[in-house]
Amino acid sequence: MDAGSRDLHPPIEADAGGQLDLGDGHVMSWEACGRPDGVPVVFLHGGPGTGVEPAHRRFFDPRIWRAVLFDQRGCGRSTPHGETRANTTDHLVADIERLRRHLGIERWAVFGGSWGSTLALAYATTHPDRVTALMLRGIFLGTDAEVAWFLHDMGRFFPEAHAAFLAQLPVSARADPLAGYLPLLMDPDPRVHAPAARAWSGYETACATLRPPPPAAFTGASPVALDRGALAVARLEAHYFAHRCFLAARPLLDRIAGDERVRELPVHIAQGRYDVICPPDAAHRLAATLGARAVLEIIPDAGHSAFEPGTRRALVQAADRFGRQLARGGRA
């Protein structure tokens, strides 16, 4: 990534961090970087199930921002790994608020992509008075139609990846891949869940960028680490999909439409034109619901990944602009 990431801010190490007991047996791993007295922002990673990477810190100018990053329940360095018990959207929203209070932050900007955009919107509609701005990418609203697209229709653009995804299942289970994958991914035996997790996460990875990522992008981690990460992504995504992302009773667009405080927030949405995982119509509907203060920027040469050149430039520019405006004490 380094050769093509010169538009990100320079690498930076976290200068604070820790473990936060969330109850229910879950412990959150968090970190912070940038100016200790900088403009607060919280980074929400995708998935569900991925986790924070050092490159995520580079979206934020350390001369302006105090960036807080954390691994959601069951992800990354948070424990227990891959745990679905007491793991719902409401739990994750409560965790963000618990972390804010733990750090003594009054209000913060929220930055999230893909599932992180879902969680950002769920948090903003629950705690609008704690949010100063939203920076979003690859919009996923957690609807049944979007889940069905991922499981079935995404294969119309990546048929070979979808065929490999279904090949992990017996023929009798391929009409309903979510039902077929769930027992495999939840099985405690690595001989059962590891191949299923690799197939699920491999399908998603294959569809994530406009151009195939270079093989070098996948050589930095050991097979054990790759399998561990794949399990969290596959298990937690399947868990959330099976429960309609815990949003069916309170759809995000309905919540936004009914709350003027959310519609008054400054919002920048960066959306890849050729995002096959999260097609652009969701971003378009979100921007229309948010209204005049939302800017929708369609990246003409990008798919889903935050690190495709056009998308990362748009995200860095939006963060720089919002950061400067908030640092001056104005509205972003």
Active site residue 114: yes
CA distance 201 to 317: 30
**Helix, strand, coil in percent for the chain, rounding step 5:** 45, 15, 35
Among the listed residues 26, 56, 193, 304, the single catalytic one is 304
Distance from C-alpha of 26 to C-alpha of 193, rounded to nearest angstrom: 22
Contact 96, 44 (CB under 8 A): yes
Whole-angstrom distance, CA of residue 182 vs CA of residue 237: 10
Q: What are 175's two structure tokens?
A: 């009409």
Q: Which of 29, 78, 114, 117 is catalytic?
A: 114
If phi over 0 gives left and psi between -120 and 50 gives alpha, with beta otherwise, what is residue 49? left
User: What is Dmax (Cα atoms) for the chain?
Assistant: 60
Q: Please check whether residue 155 is in contact with residue 162, taking contact to mean a CB–CB distance below 8 angstroms.
A: yes
Tokens of 260: 């003027």
Instruction: Please confirm whether the linkage preceding 54 is cis (ω < 30° from 0).
Output: no
Q: Is 56 labeled as catalytic in the residue annotation?
A: no
Helix (H) or strand (E) holding 224: helix 223-242
DSSP three-state, residue 82? coil
The four Cα atoms 35, 37, 38, 39 give a dihedral, to 10 degrees, of: 150
The alpha-carbon radius of gyration of the chain (Å, integer) is: 19
Sheet of 16-23, strands arranged across: 16-23, 26-34, 65-71, 39-44, 108-113, 131-137, 267-272, 294-299
Catalytic site includes residue 117 = no
Q: Which residues pair with 108 in a beta bridge?
A: 131
Structure tokens given for 130: 């704690």
Residues belonging to the active site: 114, 275, 304
